[in-house]
Structure 1
Amino acid sequence: MRISNETKVGILATVAIAVLIIGYSFLKGNDVFTSENTFYASYDRVDGLSVSKPVMVNGYQIGRVSKMQLQSSGKILTEFKIKQDYAIPANTIARIASTDLLGGKAIVFELGDSPTYANDGDTLRANIQRNILEQVEPVQKKAEAVVAVLDSVLSSINNTINADFQHNFNRSIASIANTLNTLEHTTTQVDAIVGTQRTKLANILSNVEAISANFKNNGDKITNILGNLESVSDKAAKADFERTINNANAAVADLQNIVNNINSGKGSVGLLLNDEKLYDNLNNASKNLDNLMIDLKENPSRYVHFSIFGKKRD
């Protein structure tokens, strides 16, 4: 049987139209060869989400976004096509999540634990996960604040570390280095001295050890000697002290006897102090002597006779 060219053209056009419809539906996210359940979720915003984006559970794709429609309330009603092979619990959450750093989005089902399952055409609970840039934004702000503080600190340090400070700092480092070199040289000299005098030091330590051993071996004798010396010292101190006190007491007794004798009028001193007649006689004698001296001054011729030519003979 011969097929006409018109028939061939018609068949070819029909196939082309069918392929075009199937391809268009596939590009829109519809799978015309498998049976699927339809679910819905309503979102306040769907940044980066578009038709044909995958619907995943634990990173595994179970469906796709088939339709998105803006409602009068301002919410976006999103339609999902899910293969009938997968049972979706009724309390499952359809969450918009980021898939890459460029802002790509996908629907992630967080499967619930309800014993009942969602039916075809049910609306699931919706949730939106912040994208990676939104999660990083608080950290970015903190990092910017830290960088600003760090810049201020570095500016302050730069102002503090001027040329004079650097010069003084370099001088301090050089001084410390010289001190360390001097200390190292001194240590080397001390080490050399100790090395050369090691034999003498050993002998000195040996002698000290021998002296210590002698003290240790004669400890009892030394203790006895010190005890005897202490006893002798105590006795001598006691004897001298007692003798001194006795002498002082005897001297005080003698002095008291002398005072008593004077008070009682015994002896020359006692008579001199206690005899009123003697006092009166001495007083009168003193007055007479005084009168004699006055008369002598006034009338010296009465008492002294002299002549240039000698004494006259009667």
Structure 2
Amino acid sequence: MTKEVKIGLIGIAALAMLIYGINYLKGINMFQSANYYYVEYTNINGLAGSSPVFANGFKVGTVRSINYNYKKPGHVTVEVEVDKEMRIPKGSKGELVTEMLGTVKMNLLLNDKTNEFFQPGDTLPGITNNGLMGVAEEKLVPQVEQLLPKMDSILQSLNKLLADPALTATIHNAERLTANLDVTTRQLNSLMNNELPQITGRLVTITDNFSVISENLKGIDYASTFSKVDSTLYNVQLLTEKLTRKDNTIGLLFNDPTFYQNLSTTTANAASLLEDLKAHPKRYVHFSLFGKKDK
């Protein structure tokens, strides 16, 4: 065998291995027997070649190719390769499901109510199921579109609010208030740590003093004290009554006008006599060393 033949065989083997590797990566097993079916859609929703084909959640095949059906405009034919043992009952459908991340897979919805089966090469009807993404597109997108003008209005109002100088002033006031609260907190901590023990000690002293006073008050004979007070008040009452009656000297002094007038007259005469005595002492007192003289 010449060197050129060896190189050719090595190239053919490398090409075959490359083709096998590419198909293996696509999920196509070239050494496994398979049946081919066709599924017809009006919209494949982004289905790609080599996508898996499932039946009852189990992978049974692979999308082999996707071709536009020029004989039936508006239709796309998908060729699927399924396991040789897989038999598809008539009435089954190929459903395209759009997953959350946007990938599309094919589910074979098998009709288990018949014993008739499609033959390899037959065409199955296809349907689409937009899944959660479709529901979101159908229901959420219109709502989002309705909310967009409101969101725009809210953003404009928010921009006006943020641009308002009053907001900046409010923030500064809040900062000052926070600083004042911090100072107040430190002062309260200082008071709690330094002044409060002294105040507590003074309160304890005052409490002790009140206790001593309370003990002293307990030793007072309130009954005897109030009895003496009552006796004193009674004597005051008797004195008051005597002062208002005329059967005693003090009562006459306060209540008899005649006695008062006589006393006033006597006082006035005594005063006049004293004045005359001061003015004419010789009328009342005579002193003589040689005896009394006739006037």
Structure exhibiting the larger radius of gyration computed from Cα positions:
1
TM-score, normalising length: structure 1: 0.43
TM-score, normalising length: structure 2: 0.45
